[in-house]
Amino acid sequence: MVKSRVCSALILFLLCVFIITQSPISNTAQVLAFSKVPMGAGSPCPPPGATDFSNKLIPPSTTTASLPGHVVQPVLQGGAQLVRPLNPNLQLHLAFVFAIRNPTQFQDCLNAISDPSSPQYRRFLNTTELQPFLPTPGEKSSVFAFLAHEGLTVTNGPSPLVLDLAGNAQTVMSALGTRLGVYSYRNVTFFAPASDPQIPRISHH
């Protein structure tokens, strides 16, 4: 399995991250989403507003941006030997994970909820109060539509931050602007991207 770390990029309104392994951020959001106790007055968490629930779609730009951090070190440094291109018909399953919006405020919320001396201690966010930290419905739909248009099967993942993706290797390479190969390194054979994925920027118009 290709291991890749979560990496934010200046794309999709700084909203999206692309990973293959599971994200700790998505776990955190999922736990908070199932919490039932509302935050009280004076909470460090911003209250949700109308824009947090906007259905406005966001068109992709004609320019692309790289999602750094997906090329494993043996490939990046040239130590791994390319054995062959990955079978283009191999079925792959990936996860597209949105970055937390308002990350500084999100961290402040977590700190307050986790601090026994805070009046917000264990006063967890419910699903509505979590919305300022999630992609808006329009933003999520825009990313969903782009990935589906590229030929990937897209479904909602286990967290509000996650879209599950499926498709053959050729479709993945075409959609993400990278090449996938089978490599050998220190008697270990694995497949990995030869370059970081590329995806269109999304801009307000």
Instruction: Tell me the per-residue pLDDT of 63-110, one tens digit each, with 9 for 90 and over.
Output: 888 888 999 999 999 999 999 999 999 999 999 989 899 999 999 999
User: Residue 22 — very low, low, confident or very high, per pLDDT cuts 50/70/90?
Assistant: very low
- Least Cα distance to 172 among 201, 193, 156 occurs for 193
User: Residue 60 — very low, low, confident or very high, per pLDDT cuts 50/70/90?
Assistant: confident
pLDDT value of residue 23: 35
User: Residue 25 — very low, low, confident or very high, per pLDDT cuts 50/70/90?
Assistant: very low
Task: Flag whether 150 is in a domain.
Answer: yes
Residue range(s) defining the domain that contains residue 66: 12-70+93-169
Burial of 49 (0-12, 13-18, 19+ CB in 10 A): exposed
Q: What percent of the chain has pLDDT above 70?
A: 78
Whether the model clears a pTM of 0.75, i.e. scores above it, the answer is no
Asked if residue 143 has pLDDT above 80, the reply is yes
| Sequence-separated (6 or more) residues with CB below 8 Å from residue 59 | 142, 202, 203, 205
CB 62: neighbour CB atoms within 10 A? Answer: 8
Across 151-202, the runs of DSSP E, i.e. the strands, are 153-156, 162-168, 180-185, 188-193, 198-202
Please state the rounded mean pLDDT for residues 179-189: 97
Task: Flag whether 48 is in a domain.
Answer: yes
The more confident residue out of 49 and 6 is: 49
Please state the rounded mean pLDDT for residues 35-62: 76
Asked if residue 48 has pLDDT above 80, the reply is yes
Task: Flag whether 196 is in a domain.
Answer: no
The more confident residue out of 18 and 79 is: 79
The answer to whether residues 76 and 154 touch, using CB atoms and an 8 Å cutoff, is: no
DSSP for residue 98: E
Task: Flag whether 194 is in a domain.
Answer: no
Task: Flag whether 80 is in a domain.
Answer: no
Q: What percent of the chain has pLDDT above 90?
A: 59
- Least Cα distance to 71 among 183, 172, 148, 155 occurs for 183
Task: Flag whether 201 is in a domain.
Answer: no
pLDDT value of residue 35: 39
Task: Flag whether 137 is in a domain.
Answer: yes
Domain count, the chain: 1
Task: Flag whether 191 is in a domain.
Answer: no
The answer to whether residues 52 and 131 touch, using CB atoms and an 8 Å cutoff, is: yes
> In angstroms, what is the C-alpha Rg of the chain?
19
3-state secondary structure of 135: coil
Kindly report the average pLDDT of the chain as a whole number.
Answer: 80
